[in-house]
Structure 1
Amino acid sequence: MGSIPEVSIIKGLNRDYSTQSRLHRIFETNLNSSDCGNKPAVIFCDPTNGDQNLTHNQLNQSANQLASVLIHRINTCEVEPNQDGDWIIAVCMPPSDKLIVTLLAILKTGAAYLPIDVTFPKSRIDHILQESKPAFVIYDGNIIDRSHFDSSIASSYDECKALSINYDDANISDARRLQSSDGGHLALVLYTSGSTGVPKGVRLPHAVLMNRLQWQWETFPFSSTESVGVFKTALTFVDSISEIWAPLLTQRAVLVIPKCITKDPTLLVSMLQKYEIERLVLVPTLLKSLLIYLSLKRDANLLNKLKLWICSGETLPTSLAMEFYDYFPENEYLLCNFFGSTEIMGDVTYFTCRGKDQLRNYTNVPIGYPIFNTIIYILIDDKKPVKIGETGELFVSGANLAHGYVNGRDKDRFIENILAVDPKYSRMYRTGDYASVQKGGVIHYEGRTDSQIKIRGHRVDLSEIEKHINEIDGVKKGIILCYHAGQMDQAVLAFVSVDHTSLLHELQIEQILRNKMPDYMTPQVILIDHVPLLVNGKVDRQTLLKLYENTNNNNDPAPAIDYDYSGVSANEMQKTRIFFETIGQVIGRSTRTTISLQSNFYELGGNSLNSIYTVAKLRDCGYSIDITNFISAKNLREALEYITEIDTNLDRNLVPVKADFVAYSLSEVYREETIRIIAHSFLEKAELEQQIKPHITEEAYVVLINDSWQPLIETAFSFVIADKKNRIVGVSLSFDANNEPECNLDGPHGVIFEFLETLEAPVKDRLPHDKPIMHSFMMGTHETLNAQENIVAMTFMESEVIRLAREKGCCGILTTNTNALTQQLARDVFGYETLSDTQINTFVFNGRKPFGNAPDDYRAMVQWKKL
């Protein structure tokens, strides 16, 4: 960093980056100059249809065709650029492979993309469209109704995709692109919360994105083994830019993870583990959630390849960073704290931590040092730099600055830099953040100058919430405050007084606000009789916060919460009391209403983070519930059905499985469905099969099942399951281990059968043989089941295996599991004993290791349940 200046002006390193390149042109150049065309570019974890993959060539070709459709539609509609001279195409789609195609296509047209979250209320969507005036809107017709948009300039993705087959897949020439007055510099527009109570759009050019990306590639380069990056952040959030384009523009793949997986630690960790992800961007609250989950699992191999953790969007407490290094080894894993906002491309300073010694003198982790081509100024009101150690307002100058706001709003945020010598630093952005420069030139965040806060990484202006709440009929006065701003227990509160004739209550007001704002902005509403005032007539904010604090005392182990045990049977009362009181202790401060069987955990005030706390505390009390089941339960009654008492002798009688399915004995009528489900499940999801693709095909399963069909029928240990619509959605195939048919080791399954036989043969020799032994060897589910439905179906089938084995007089059940889910179900839920635990990639067959490329944490467990 050079010598530390006397005043708080900190300059990042100069880099002569080529920032004139357009993102889509870099992507196209890579295809022409390398062999990445057939490598994966997009992997979408579709909970319904399984993983959807696109190569770089397929992505480019689909984007070219879609871009041609968009250009044609815009030209046909004869629309013009907006008053800023920008061509904008709005996109309202959830995360998917289709979304990535759409974003690349929009850039190829010469336009900028404007993300609109599919969960936004219609009023917010209307404001964004009316102000930004996009030339076209493309949306997901399966989620968003056409009435949200002017149909003359809007189409669903499927409609556009159907038209795209009429166009060739060549790259879009400059002559065909939409021509703007500035040469098409704009890459995207992101809307943020506004200080006037109205959201405002930030205009981000390609050059700004390229400065940020090139700094990242040089400072935190991808490793030689890092082939996949993660896109899990909302598209409306600035961090999504680097998540998507950093891997794609370096010839890597981007793994698209939908929200339903992101909010469930079990599913998220499994996905990160499966694709051997090496870096992750996340807010501190999600980091906290993952650390709690990892401590519960007690598996040192989980996320052991994820070496770079990047926190941004919220203050990072030192205590949380210390917890990180309680789990991960120091000096091997990097924990970074990035600072910035949408107006400065998300990140302009960074702090890299390698261990606890760097953190001991800090309450919060510093925001660090400027990135390349950036100057940070800490100034006082008259734009004079403060001395080292003093606090002032943080200003940013350099290559990361946006080109202002849509329609030129809030010009006072982007101002002339009177301190600049170099013309490239002639503008500066006023962040509204307080900061200081401490010993060593490191920058510390010191809070906000205004009413803005960060919620889940999104910047929110409290005045916007206040504006909406005071517009509600029946509300006399609404005051919005933030309790413990920037801390892990941060809470946005709305203290509301209503007309004496009004029948409004807290939850009703919250629902009205949800129809006007995104969910993450909705405050907890607290009704008050009158607004307390100071002697000068201003609102007494501290009294209101004390009212909240005293009513919901975090230090009280049993907050004053109403519990309603109506409908709870006597034999369930102890478990229910522990369950309800655990929830009360975890979310007592924000509990909205009485806790009862009908309550929904999230409507009570729960969230993803404290859901993990709840599961952890329940375990401490001697009760267990799968995290996924708890998160997805419709109400506490449903969650209660999944809670079991922790018992080392746990068996099926203590495993509650909802009767969502019915089992039918295997018969000829189910042959076709059995083959299809088993073939898809094992070909697409089984760990062993993934390692020997493409040598194993669907035809191999057809031959295998047909060859085994008659013995399966005769043994009568196998079954299918049907859902409530009587659709076959699961198959379980089993033999008697004492009388199994011979397997053909010459076929494509040979290496797999040889591996399984190597593991199982020594175990079988030790088992009793005076009674039948059910050998559960194949279990699969229908590809249309989402992640939660799949777990429920698998749990039901595992329970049915135990029931059937008892019915048939078996002495026990033998199974070999290579899937983490079935291993967990067998061990933690159904009480199987693990007799053999083998690292898959160590197996040698005919002088080679057929599974040698499998990760070290892929295990094969031979498990046994004595009956």
Structure 2
Amino acid sequence: MNTVPALFESVVARRGGEPALIEAEDTLRYAELNTRINRLARLLIAHGVGPDSLVAVAMPKSRELIVSIMAVLKAGGAYLPLDPEYPAERLSFMLSDARPVLLLRSSSVAPLGKLGEGPQEVVCDDPAFRAACARLPEHDVAQHERRAPLRPEHLMYVIYTSGSTGTPKGVAVPHSGVPDMVATQRAVLRAGPGDRVLQWASISFDAAFWDVSLALLSGAALVTVAAEELLPGHPLGNTLVKYGITHAVLPPVALSETDADDVLPGGTVMSTGDSCTPTLVRKWSRTRRMFNGYGPTEVTVGATIAGPVRDTGDIAIGAPWVGKRVHVLDERLRPVPPGKEGELYIAGSGLARGYLNRSPATAGKFVADPFGPPGTRMYRTGDRGRRGPDGQLFFAGRADGQVKVRGFRVELGEIEARLAAHPVVDVAVAVVRGELADAHVVGYVTTTAPVDPGDLRAHVAASLPAHMVPARVTVLERFPTLTNGKIDRGALPRPEADAGVLAHAGAPAAGAEPAAGAREPEADDCAAAVCAIVRDVLRAPEATAADNFFELGGHSVQATRLVSRIRERFGVALPMRTVLEAASIGELAAVVGSRLPA
């Protein structure tokens, strides 16, 4: 009962006829889901998958994705999630670094490796592959059928995080922390038969495993929908209502953009991934139970949980999970008194093995635990925190250059390294501007030759995921410095003041920025009106019909705002996909114009 397959099979034995996985109008019950997982697991074993072997999984959000990762675990392997939305260069790096024995993908995802290089690729929805699965036995996979017995210390998944040196690191997490995680979920969130859990997080983040386990290891139903139906705002709100979601784990950026009325009535919502604010607690805790969670990727999903939380000032990150200990220590690893800030260290069950193929980095972050039995370790989080008089823990920021951007963990050093890799960039600096949904990265560079900031953004976008691409890059003649000669990040020009620099570097000349929330004047030119809305949403000095919304620095959350503003201005309800697929603002405006009454 100490591995994911064993825990899942115990639920199937009790709840075989209950709904397990819901996608659109289709529902798989636990026994049916288990059959599909067992058959695919046997085929994976035949392809060489076993304990401590990695299987890369590349497919969009879908029922097949859930079946695939559960089958990898049943086979005894560990899954390496590859989000198809990530740049091909990023995915290729993870494949070459992790060296999985197999790549499992759907036909909607293009081949990721070069011919003759990398792992063998299997297309899971290929008719011949499906037929081969259907011919295999449906009963549970026994230990003797695996290439070796599966034990709690074996790997469960490897998830890559942003790296401070410019190179992502794979965090290797075993099964051993799952029983205590499930015990915490059972004691605090209390999901079970009859409940519906939303699978919100990207599979490339450990929060996705929390969603899966909260449902499938408790007897509840997991609801999976397409990514565009999960965008913060109207899409997410509609999904919560449409599927009758009772439990949702969402980052503050999603909570801030989504209307709390009429969703999750009497249900449970958990904020995680970034700092939760009193405003969000006031908004979401009124008619439902609300919790606040905390934990880095280097542990099994999380470490502490607070709640049900109320709007009472500072929002705690709570108390340690079952089986975990959290220490607040000074620079000499001595406990600090309650109320005093120190660095948070996590010990107990659920620690990762370390960073895949990176022993020095592992040794620097997973250190000996002076408060535990001999041979035990603790993880040095780099987070600052304090302990309240009642023992509750509070987050107080980072001790280094790591930041959170719309719930994503980002090392600014990785962005700076990618900018600096451009042939004409001399020095590069990245900072974060804004908060929650408005949080975005801004880059600053000095160069050895003229360059268009758009080219620099494209250079970064070729290898980094969208949330790490700077919304704007400013070319400076020189960086402001402190008296010791170091760059003065606090004196870097705000983006609103960059219009002249951007225009000088090749961007369009700046226009006057409309006041936030101001209504645009009525105009016959639909394109001009949509451009004005885009300028307001992005707080950009200029946006023309030829520009692309996302190339101007827009992201998915701002796209939901754009749809809302267009609905208010024109009375036209656009599908989110229209914004995502529009090549230019002019093309988007043409769609709006075509839907206006004659």
Does the TM-score normalized on the shorter chain lie above 0.5? Answer: yes
Distance across 1 between alignment mates of 2:156 and 2:284: 36
Aligned partner (choices 280, 301, 309) of residue 248 of structure 2 = 280
Q: Which has the greater radius of gyration?
A: 1
Cα contact 2:2–2:176 (8 A) shared by 1: yes
User: Which residue in the other structure is 2:96 paired with?
Assistant: 130
Aligned partner (choices 469, 473, 477) of residue 427 of structure 2 = 477
Aligned partner (choices 583, 587, 598) of residue 538 of structure 2 = 587
Distance across 2 between alignment mates of 1:576 and 1:462: 36
Q: Deviations over 1:729-755 (max 9, x none)?
A: xxxxxxxxxxxxxxxxxxxxxxxxxxx
Distance across 1 between alignment mates of 2:28 and 2:166: 41
Q: Deviations over 1:420-455 (max 9, x none)?
A: 3x569x321100001112333222211111111122
Aligned partner (choices 102, 107, 110) of residue 76 of structure 2 = 110
1:351 aligns with 2:351: no
Tell me the secondary structure at the aligned position of residue 307 of structure 2.
Answer: strand
Distance across 1 between alignment mates of 2:194 and 2:10: 23
User: Which residue in the other structure is 1:492 paired with?
Assistant: 441
1:215 aligns with 2:184: yes
Letter matched to residue 418 of structure 1: P
Aligned partner (choices 353, 368, 390) of residue 416 of structure 1 = 368
Distance change >3 Å, CA 608–CA 547, structure 1 → 2: closer
Letter matched to residue 447 of structure 2: V
Aligned partner (choices 135, 142, 145) of residue 111 of structure 2 = 145
Structure 2 gap ranges (5+): 501-508, 514-520
Cα contact 1:312–1:337 (8 A) shared by 2: yes
1:62 aligns with 2:36: yes
Distance change >3 Å, CA 572–CA 129, structure 1 → 2: same
User: Which residue in the other structure is 2:504 paired with?
Assistant: none
Shift of residue 551 of structure 1? 4.0
Distance change >3 Å, CA 130–CA 619, structure 1 → 2: closer
Length-normalised TM-score, structure 1: 0.62
Aligned CA-pair RMSD? 3.0
Cα contact 1:135–1:153 (8 A) shared by 2: yes
Shift of residue 561 of structure 1? 3.1
Distance across 1 between alignment mates of 2:226 and 2:482: 48
Distance across 1 between alignment mates of 2:108 and 2:146: 29
Shift of residue 195 of structure 1? 2.1
Distance across 1 between alignment mates of 2:36 and 2:185: 28
Cα contact 1:289–1:608 (8 A) shared by 2: no
1:520 aligns with 2:467: yes
Shift of residue 88 of structure 1? 1.4
User: Which residue in the other structure is 1:536 paired with?
Assistant: 484
Distance change >3 Å, CA 450–CA 549, structure 1 → 2: farther
Distance across 1 between alignment mates of 2:439 and 2:153: 41
Shift of residue 343 of structure 1? 0.8
Aligned partner (choices 237, 255, 268) of residue 269 of structure 1 = 237
Tell me the secondary structure at the aligned position of residue 249 of structure 2.
Answer: strand
Aligned partner (choices 260, 263, 275) of residue 303 of structure 1 = 263
Cα contact 1:111–1:178 (8 A) shared by 2: no
**Within 5 A, what are the aligned runs for 1:626-665?**
626=573, 628=575, 631-632=579-580, 634=582, 635-640=584-589, 656-657=594-595
Distance change >3 Å, CA 351–CA 90, structure 1 → 2: same
Tell me the secondary structure at the aligned position of residue 215 of structure 1.
Answer: helix
Distance across 2 between alignment mates of 1:612 and 1:103: 30
Letter matched to residue 491 of structure 1: H
Length-normalised TM-score, structure 2: 0.88
User: Which residue in the other structure is 1:204 paired with?
Assistant: 173
Distance change >3 Å, CA 324–CA 643, structure 1 → 2: farther
Distance across 1 between alignment mates of 2:453 and 2:327: 43
Shift of residue 121 of structure 1? 2.4
Distance across 2 between alignment mates of 1:184 and 1:259: 33
Cα contact 2:157–2:172 (8 A) shared by 1: yes
Q: Deviations over 1:298-317 (max 9, x none)?
A: xx5x3152621111111122
Distance across 1 between alignment mates of 2:357 and 2:151: 16
Letter matched to residue 141 of structure 1: S
1:229 aligns with 2:229: no
Shift of residue 323 of structure 1? 3.6
User: Which residue in the other structure is 2:124 paired with?
Assistant: 157
Structure 1 gap ranges (5+): 1-19, 46-50, 76-80, 295-299, 554-558, 564-569, 645-655, 659-798, 804-867
1:244 aligns with 2:212: yes
User: Which residue in the other structure is 1:847 paired with?
Assistant: none
Q: Deviations over 1:525-562 (max 9, x none)?
A: 22222223333221121221x34354489xxxxx9636
1:21 aligns with 2:19: no
User: Which residue in the other structure is 1:177 paired with?
Assistant: 146
User: Which residue in the other structure is 1:92 paired with?
Assistant: 58
User: Which residue in the other structure is 1:39 paired with?
Assistant: 18
Cα contact 1:138–1:156 (8 A) shared by 2: yes
Tell me the secondary structure at the aligned position of residue 145 of structure 2.
Answer: coil
Distance across 2 between alignment mates of 1:273 and 1:157: 31
Letter matched to residue 318 of structure 2: G
Distance change >3 Å, CA 465–CA 162, structure 1 → 2: farther
Cα contact 2:160–2:204 (8 A) shared by 1: yes
User: Which residue in the other structure is 2:517 paired with?
Assistant: none
Q: Deviations over 1:190-246 (max 9, x none)?
A: 1111222211111211121221122111111126642x2111210111111121122
Distance change >3 Å, CA 304–CA 43, structure 1 → 2: closer
User: Which residue in the other structure is 1:703 paired with?
Assistant: none
Distance across 2 between alignment mates of 1:181 and 1:571: 66
Letter matched to residue 543 of structure 2: I
User: Which residue in the other structure is 1:314 paired with?
Assistant: 274
Shift of residue 340 of structure 1? 0.8
Letter matched to residue 465 of structure 2: P
Distance across 1 between alignment mates of 2:270 and 2:118: 41
Distance change >3 Å, CA 581–CA 127, structure 1 → 2: closer
Q: Deviations over 1:65-108 (max 9, x none)?
A: 21222111227xxxxx8xxx821111111111111111121111
Distance across 2 between alignment mates of 1:258 and 1:576: 29
Distance across 1 between alignment mates of 2:356 and 2:135: 35
**Within 5 A, what are the aligned runs for 1:661-700?**
none
Tell me the secondary structure at the aligned position of residue 468 of structure 1.
Answer: helix
Bigger drift between 520-529 and 123-132 goes to 123-132
Distance across 1 between alignment mates of 2:232 and 2:399: 35
Distance across 1 between alignment mates of 2:283 and 2:225: 26
Cα contact 2:406–2:439 (8 A) shared by 1: no
Letter matched to residue 288 of structure 1: S
Distance change >3 Å, CA 181–CA 322, structure 1 → 2: closer
Distance across 1 between alignment mates of 2:125 and 2:194: 36
Letter matched to residue 40 of structure 2: L
Distance change >3 Å, CA 551–CA 513, structure 1 → 2: closer
Cα contact 1:532–1:543 (8 A) shared by 2: yes
User: Which residue in the other structure is 1:855 paired with?
Assistant: none
Distance across 1 between alignment mates of 2:74 and 2:591: 50
**Within 5 A, what are the aligned runs for 1:715-734?**
none
